[in-house]
Amino acid sequence: MSDSRVRIARRVAKFLQNGDLVNLGIGLPTLVANYLPEGLEVEFQSENGLIGLGGAPEAGQEDQDITNAGAQPATLAVGASCFDSAMSFAVIRGGHVGVTVLGALEVDQEGNLANWIVPGKMVPGMGGAMDLVAGAKTVIVAMEHCTKAGASKVLKHCTLPLTASRRVKYIVTELAVLKVTEHGLELMETAPGVTPGEVQEKTEATLLIPDTVGCME
């Protein structure tokens, strides 16, 4: 596993607070469950019908009947509850999820999110993302800062079809932590050894850079 993905997951985990009901999207966001700060007590919800989702099982200890929403092997915490999709989406649409962590194809300076389709290409599709982004109290995007071709995924305006409009609050990448404000994207933290200027060079959106910028840990 790359250090950049671990850095993102660790930093996202620090946004969580005791008592939060948290949904982790497929892919990189599922790693967050493996890096909770010591003593933090949260419940993870998975749209395939679980509350009390645990981290990844040890090799050889997988149970084919216990998976996360991305069909990856998972574990159950003590007291976990399993239920059908109707109940799962009632929890989501009812506004009971405190935080959702999702990946993105694009996100922009207004907090718009595009993560479900690239026209003309085969991708997983919408899944529960639309419901999660609309229903969760806080939306955090966890993703790599640029595409494999080097293009910024943090834009002035999304070019792909939107999942939701103006719902993202924080963006965490391997380079930086950004906060969506009414004035634009504020640079909260940079990764060790990365300067604010370097983050801006890899970001299409114009960043608001305060006098003091923290360091991702």
- State pLDDT tens for residues 55-64: 889 999 999 9
Domains of the chain: 3-215 (3.40.1080.10)
Band (pLDDT 50/70/90 cuts) for residue 1 is: low
The mean pLDDT value for 146-164 works out to: 96
Distances (CA, A) of 118 to 8, 94, 126, 130, 163: 24, 29, 11, 16, 12
134 close to 100: Cβ distance less than 8 angstroms:
no
Whether residue 41 is predicted with pLDDT greater than 80 in this model: the reply is yes
Q: How far apart are CA 120 and CA 198, in angstroms?
A: 33
157: which 2 tokens? 């305006």
Helices (H), 22-112: 85-93
Residue linked to tokens 């993302």: 129
pTM of the model: 0.94
What pLDDT does residue 34 have? 87
Say how many CA atoms lie within 13 Å of 102 toward its Cβ.
30
Give the active site residues.
47
Q: How far apart are CA 77 and CA 53, in angstroms?
A: 6
- Following CA atoms 50, 51, 57, 61 in sequence, which dihedral angle do they give, to the nearest 10 degrees? -60
Q: How far apart are CA 27 and CA 16, in angstroms?
A: 19
